[in-house]
Structure 1
Amino acid sequence: MPPSLRRGSTRPYLWAVLFGLLFVVPYLRPIAVFLLPGMLLQALTHSIASKDPISRLARTVATSLSFWIVSVWAASSAGLRLTTLFWLVSLISGGVWVVLIARNPALPSLLPKRPTHLILLAAALLVTFLPFFLTLAPPGADMSMHGYITRMVHDAGGVPTTYKPYLPIEKFGAFSIGFHTLAAMIASASGGLMPIYRAVLLTDCLVYFLLFLILWGSLVPRLGSNLAAASAAAAIFLSR
């Protein structure tokens, strides 16, 4: 039996319950897109051992999103749809993560332990995701374009082959679809409960939150944690 279980540690069981909720409750599944398989990949490459918890969290989210963006091309070539890819990767990586935590209880936490860091992180989450709760759909012609490309990726279950019937362009591929892949993955993971326009708005908020984490982690060595967080927040606010 793993040492952590012999000592009565509840950490593996808490992760198992968390993943169970993420997979069972459709509205929580987008969280799995943010965290998996980044948590596992960061742990296996020992990148999660970084002393800075903000950098750990930023790398975890960035690794997860990068994985989904790249893997959809391979999945489409293999005939796997977005929904199948999500369940296959999430269940495997989530299960392996729980086993890894059970066997290695010293693995660092993804969340900061300092109260000030937790408060700053919670405030950043609230501010960056506030538009999702106050706005029905992302405004602007640019976001409309992102919306129909996301719809195409979602309907195709992967990389489409053509822009038709939305545009009279025979061959697909004139525009990078990283953002749209994430939004389509989130919509697919929700089991159809989250409309495309809501998934696009949620992805937009996620990108700003990730940018905040990256700026915060990058500025900590030069400005200190609190001033770095304030500077990152100001940059995100001005760019919004």
Structure 2
Amino acid sequence: MTEEGGTPEALRQWRRVVVKLSGEALMGHRTHGLDAETLERLALDLVETAALGVEIAVVVGGGNFFRGIEGAEKGIERARADSIGMLATVMNALALEFAIEKLGQSARVLSAVPMPSLCQPYSRQAALHHLSKQRIVILAGGTGNPFFTTDTGAALRAAELSSDVIMKATQVDGIYSADPKIDPKATRYTKLTHDEAINKNLAVMDTAAFALARENKIPILVFSIKERGAIRAALEGKGLATLVLP
């Protein structure tokens, strides 16, 4: 993904990116909620990446507070549980916005669930405007509809915003043939196609997200978010990752 003696290939090709951050990524070593140190590290990583001239939109999950599917399993109506999960993503987005702006970088939260007293409602035009002003755009509320994951929301927003790549930040350094935490023989893929990821049922993103990315020919870069500077390193082609191509 890099070339010797010049600008990394990814930086030439990927000038507008959608970063998918799970709620779990924001809680660090805590069992729930937000970890201040982790939040600051991720904010700094986003700011340093934006300083390269990259336009960044971030789609945040809410699993550190509430996951809709888990709420449904505990007896809450699925549509209502997903609505609670959407509210959790707004909390994370507001916290991330504050952490980014503390570092001197302008940021804006746009929510697919309108709550204008807290943040701006999402629209494609508003998001593109903020990106053009070199603001980091934080997209909350998923798709604004129940029964869709924030992974699908990330793929949808990437398509709407004509993004060059979806950067899927995870707890492992790419896509494996099996869960590496369970199967020591699991092997990491360097490159895959969208069709291969779907056919092999590789669950790093849900099928709807893969299908949306495939239909719109958007690459997906899967990498570990555990280390400082992980987003910038992945974009520059450093470290381990899996690239899913059309």
Q: TM-score, normalised by structure 2?
A: 0.32
Q: TM-score, normalised by structure 1?
A: 0.32
Structure richer in helix, relative to its length: 1
Question: Looking at CA atoms only, which structure, 1 or 2, has the larger radius of gyration?
Answer: 1
